[in-house]
């Protein structure tokens, strides 16, 4: 049984893959984040990841189970067939991945769909597409975690995207704890982060800061 999408799931959204925690055990990192209270986890294993497809599936099965046990949505990045094989709760695709209308049709009734939008034009197109649960907008700030990131949109750009979007927006890209209140003030439903949590010395405190900042959005 998969979880239905709810905007509150966007409040403390952890995105991670083995490439983001080199020399560490991703399963342990994710469990620590779940124990700290993250509201969503996205399995984004790509780029410098050294996993074979079989290893990515096996690890995904273990991460999926940990998220299910914590009643936290398990979202897969990019790979629709992996998401279906893992019985994920959601799939996240970008503008250069499989066409979102085809993804929505492929996963209909099984997974919710998130889409990356970093311009008003992309938001306006997304507003016309039924079946998109949320928008990931970014990068808000410069990021070291995505080599092919779009140009930075900044807080003013985020505010414009939120005002134009008919779906809840989660901010992503170069986010640090000190910027969480300003991100919430734009009307974004929450923050999606890699480094801020993967490299946090105190995940419980970092997740608490994410939840506190996004409280006003409830
Ligand atoms: C929550 C969230 N927002 C944006 C992205 C970026 O997706 P995409 O543009 O497809 O880039 P990759 O992550 O695939 O490199 C995301 N993954 N999650
Ligand atoms: C996946 C993604 N999409 C836009 S920026 C980004 C990377 C976010 O990583 P970090 O939080 O470490 O900047
Ligand atoms: Mg993608």
Give, for all 218 residues of the chain, the pLDDT tens digit.
678 999 999 999 999 999 999 999 999 999 999 999 999 999 999 999 999 999 999 999 999 999 999 999 999 999 999 999 999 999 999 998 889 999 999 999 899 999 999 999 999 999 999 999 999 998 999 999 999 999 999 999 999 999 999 999 999 999 999 999 999 999 999 999 999 999 999 999 999 999 999 987 66
CATH classification of the domain holding 211 = 3.20.20.70
Q: Tell which residue, 187, 192, 165, has the closest CA to residue 16.
A: 192
DSSP secondary structure code for residue 22 in this structure: T
Q: Say how many C-beta atoms besides its own lie within 10 A of residue 205's C-beta.
A: 11
Domain hosting residue 108, numbered range? 7-215
pTM of the model: 0.98
Q: Is the CB of 169 under 6 A from ligand 1?
A: no
Q: Does residue 206 fall inside a structural domain? A: yes
Angle at 57 between CA 56 and CA 58, to 5 degrees: 95
Q: Does residue 2 fall inside a structural domain? A: no
Residues whose beta carbon lies within 6 Å of some atom of ligand 2? 15, 138-139, 143, 145-146, 149, 172-175, 193-196
User: Is 127 one of the annotated binding-site residues?
Assistant: no
Q: Does residue 1 fall inside a structural domain? A: no
Contact by Cβ (8 Å): 87, 112: no
DSSP secondary structure code for residue 164 in this structure: H
Indicate whether this complex's ipTM tops 0.90. yes
Q: Does residue 161 fall inside a structural domain? A: yes
Contact by Cβ (8 Å): 172, 192: yes
What SS3 class is residue 158?
Answer: helix
Q: Is the CB of 73 under 6 A from ligand 1?
A: no
Q: Which of 21, 97, 137, 174 to mutate to test the pocket of ligand 2 (most atoms within 8 A of CB)?
A: 174
Q: Tell which residue, 3, 68, 13, 1, has the closest CA to residue 37.
A: 13
Give the chain's domain count. 1
Q: Does residue 78 fall inside a structural domain? A: yes
Q: Which of 44, 122, 144, 188 to mutate to test the pocket of ligand 1 (most atoms within 8 A of CB)?
A: 44
Contact by Cβ (8 Å): 17, 49: yes
Q: Does residue 174 fall inside a structural domain? A: yes
Q: Does residue 103 fall inside a structural domain? A: yes
Q: Say how many C-beta atoms besides its own lie within 10 A of residue 92's C-beta.
A: 29
């Amino acid at each position: 049984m998969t979880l239905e999408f709810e905007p509150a799931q966007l409040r403390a959204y952890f995105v991670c893959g083995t490439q983001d925690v080199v020399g560490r055990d991703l399963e342990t990192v994710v469990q620590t984040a779940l124990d700290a209270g993250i509201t969503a986890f996205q399995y984004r294993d790509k780029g410098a990841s050294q996993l074979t497809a079989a290893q990515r599936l096996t690890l995904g099965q273990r991460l999926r189970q940990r998220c299910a046990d914590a009643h936290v949505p398990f979202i897969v990045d990019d790979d629709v067939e992996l998401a279906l094989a893992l019985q994920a709760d959601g799939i996240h695709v970008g503008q250069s991945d499989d066409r979102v209308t085809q993804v929505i049709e492929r996963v209909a009734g099984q997974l919710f769909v998130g889409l990356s939008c970093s311009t008003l034009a992309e938001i306006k197109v997304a507003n016309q597409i039924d079946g998109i649960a949320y928008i990931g907008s970014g990068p808000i700030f410069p990021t070291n975690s995505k080599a092919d990131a779009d140009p930075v949109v900044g807080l003013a750009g985020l505010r414009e995207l939120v005002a134009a979007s008919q779906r809840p927006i989660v901010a992503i890209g170069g986010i640090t704890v000190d910027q969480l209140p300003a991100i919430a003030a734009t009307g974004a439903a929450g923050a999606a982060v890699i480094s801020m949590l993967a490299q946090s010395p105190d995940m419980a405190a970092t997740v608490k800061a994410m939840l506190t900042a996004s409280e006003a959005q409830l």
